[in-house]
Amino acid sequence: MGKPTGFLEFDRVKEHYAPVEERVQHYHEFVPTLTVQEASTQGARCMDCGIPFCNNGCPVNNIIPDWNDLVYRGKAEMAIRVLHSTNNFPEFTGRICPAPCESACTLGINADPVGIKSIERYTIDTAWDNNWVKPQPSAVKTGKKVAVVGSGPAGLAAAQQLARVGHDVTVFEKNTRVGGLLRYGIPDFKLDKGLIDRRVTQMEAEGVVFKTSTLVALDNNLPAGVTNDAQTVVTPAQLDAEFDAVILAGGSETPRDLPVKGRELSGIHFALEFLIPQNKEVAGDGVNPINVKGKHVVVIGGGDTGSDCVGTSNRHGAASVTQLEVMPQPPVQENKELTWPYWPLKLRTSSSHEEGCVREFAVSTKEFIGENGKLTGLKLVNVEFKDGKLIEVPGSEFELKADAVFLAMGFTNPLAKVLDAFGVEKDARGNAKATTEDEGCYATSIPKVYAAGDIRRGQSLVVWAIREGRQCAREVDQFLMGSSLLPR
């Protein structure tokens, strides 16, 4: 695949970022797509490695060497056909996926891996630019009706697959626009929301119906920390009466809290209470009530959501941004002999960190400090692993000034209110219980109700959600028709 000697001749083609001082002034994407020549050179580095571990490193099992080779040879139109055969939305994964495929790249054992993610983005962006991405409506209708609850990547993937084999698909979304956390949880500077709108238009042309501002539950009362724009409530009983199958594809939306002293102080927010209104403001759907211009911001949690809070705070013009992580700092370079081809533990610095952020590792929050009910700082302590447990380091307590704190420690489970409304059995973590191992994959304990994505597997990656949506669609198609031609 690629040029036989390409990996010896060419260095990895790195994507270019706009300068920090320029990009923090706006919320637009700032990573340009590779040029034709850059993409060809990147594809040329793909080795004829014999066993392409990248395929298995990718949750949707993208046929990576094939489209790398096609891009190298200037055959982008053929490349997008191969790419679309396993991935409905490569413009999403080509921007926000952490690229476990690159960690599994054989070339990565002793050199920089092939820039698979950048080739993926080049391929789909080129396809859209050349009008190669078109609706694929089914020539024959089955007469079967499927409801999809949730319009995130799992729900969108399942809906598109089912519509393309002739089923009548309706997607229910509790918020005002389609996309789930693709739309509301990821800042526009990482994922332009026009990319979602473009796919929605395609799917509508394929016959998918979207019903937004509609919650599927018994009533319209959701717990604190969960965004809900619903104006209409549809009950599970109504779906059962109208549809032949239901797919639950909501996200893992219950945020992990930090119940320490002072938690009630004003100025402490869950991450999505900051990110979702900001995305709505950028879209012209309101004004973010949380503004951190000139404030000292502390983000608790070292993952992607925390990074998004960092980048958004910098665009607000925060006086300082500090990110806290309870775990020790990972090594700058992974031990490839130990970890390859698996996802390695190593220090990862995002574009948001580069824009301005102090990162503190092995730190735990003991207390939020405040005056007159308003946050002014945090009491922190260093921690270390001892006998397999995190313990406080004696005498290491210190204080940190803060005007705003964002809790970005992940999500514990999907909305129990939704699962309970359907009567779906839950696993020990509060997710919908549905196996992927046996016959009848993705089926819940309730007849004709299926579950896919974060609502089933817990908080995970967009690419895993797409995989589960596609696989669940096949199981539903087989349930409705007795057999299925959809890919497994």
Q: Are residues 431 and 388 in the same domain?
A: no
Domain span at 48 = 5-130
pLDDT > 90? residue 368: yes
Q: Are residues 267 and 402 in the same domain?
A: yes
Q: What pLDDT is stored for residue 1 in this prediction?
A: 64
Token couple for 483:
């057999």
Instruction: Give the global pTM.
Output: 0.96
Residue 140 domain-assigned (yes or no): no
Q: How many other CB atoms are found less than 10 A from the CB of residue 5?
A: 10
The region, left, alpha or beta by phi > 0 then psi within -120 to 50, assigned to residue 230 is beta
Question: How long, in residues, is the chain?
Answer: 488
pLDDT > 90? residue 439: no
CATH of the domain at 247: 3.50.50.60
Q: Are residues 126 and 197 in the same domain?
A: no
Average pLDDT of the residues in 196-217: 98
Last residue of a domain, one of 348, 372, 407: 407
Q: What pLDDT is stored for residue 224 in this prediction?
A: 77
pLDDT band at 223; cut points 50, 70, 90 = confident
Residue 354 domain-assigned (yes or no): yes
pLDDT > 90? residue 226: no
pLDDT > 90? residue 225: no
Alpha-carbon gap, residue 215 to 150, rounded angstroms: 9
Q: Are residues 38 and 109 in the same domain?
A: yes
Q: Are residues 125 and 216 in the same domain?
A: no
Residue 346 domain-assigned (yes or no): yes
Q: Are residues 299 and 402 in the same domain?
A: yes
pLDDT > 90? residue 294: yes
Alpha-carbon gap, residue 25 to 316, rounded angstroms: 9
pLDDT, tens digit (0-9, with 9 covering 90-100), for 300-357: 999 999 999 999 999 999 999 999 999 999 999 999 989 999 999 999 999 999 999 9
pLDDT band at 435; cut points 50, 70, 90 = confident
Last residue of a domain, one of 346, 372, 407: 407
Q: Are residues 43 and 97 in the same domain?
A: yes
Average pLDDT of the residues in 451-465: 96
pLDDT > 90? residue 158: yes
CATH of the domain at 68: 1.10.1060.10
pLDDT > 80? residue 384: yes
Q: What pLDDT is stored for residue 388 in this prediction?
A: 86
Residue 376 domain-assigned (yes or no): yes
pLDDT band at 2; cut points 50, 70, 90 = confident
Residue 138 domain-assigned (yes or no): no
Q: Are residues 304 and 391 in the same domain?
A: yes
Q: Are residues 99 and 40 in the same domain?
A: yes
Residue 135 domain-assigned (yes or no): no
Average pLDDT of the residues in 2-7: 89
C-alpha dihedral over 470, 474, 476, 479, to 10 degrees? -170
Q: What pLDDT is stored for residue 12 in this prediction?
A: 96
Q: Are residues 116 and 41 in the same domain?
A: yes
pLDDT, tens digit (0-9, with 9 covering 90-100), for 227-253: 899 999 999 999 999 999 999 999 999
Alpha-carbon gap, residue 298 to 279, rounded angstroms: 20
Residue 137 domain-assigned (yes or no): no
- Phi (first) and psi of residue 248, to 5 degrees: -90, 115
Alpha-carbon gap, residue 347 to 327, rounded angstroms: 11
Mean pLDDT of the chain: 96
Q: Which amino acid is at 36?
A: V
Q: What pLDDT is stored for residue 251 in this prediction?
A: 94
Last residue of a domain, one of 104, 130, 156: 130
Q: Are residues 223 and 310 in the same domain?
A: no
Q: Are residues 40 and 159 in the same domain?
A: no
Residue 139 domain-assigned (yes or no): no
Structural domains in the chain (count): 3
Alpha-carbon gap, residue 134 to 206, rounded angstroms: 9
Average pLDDT of the residues in 117-134: 98
pLDDT, tens digit (0-9, with 9 covering 90-100), for 19-77: 999 999 999 999 999 999 999 999 999 998 989 999 999 999 999 999 999 999 999 99
Query: Pairing state of beta strands 411-413 and 254-255?
Result: antiparallel
pLDDT > 90? residue 488: no
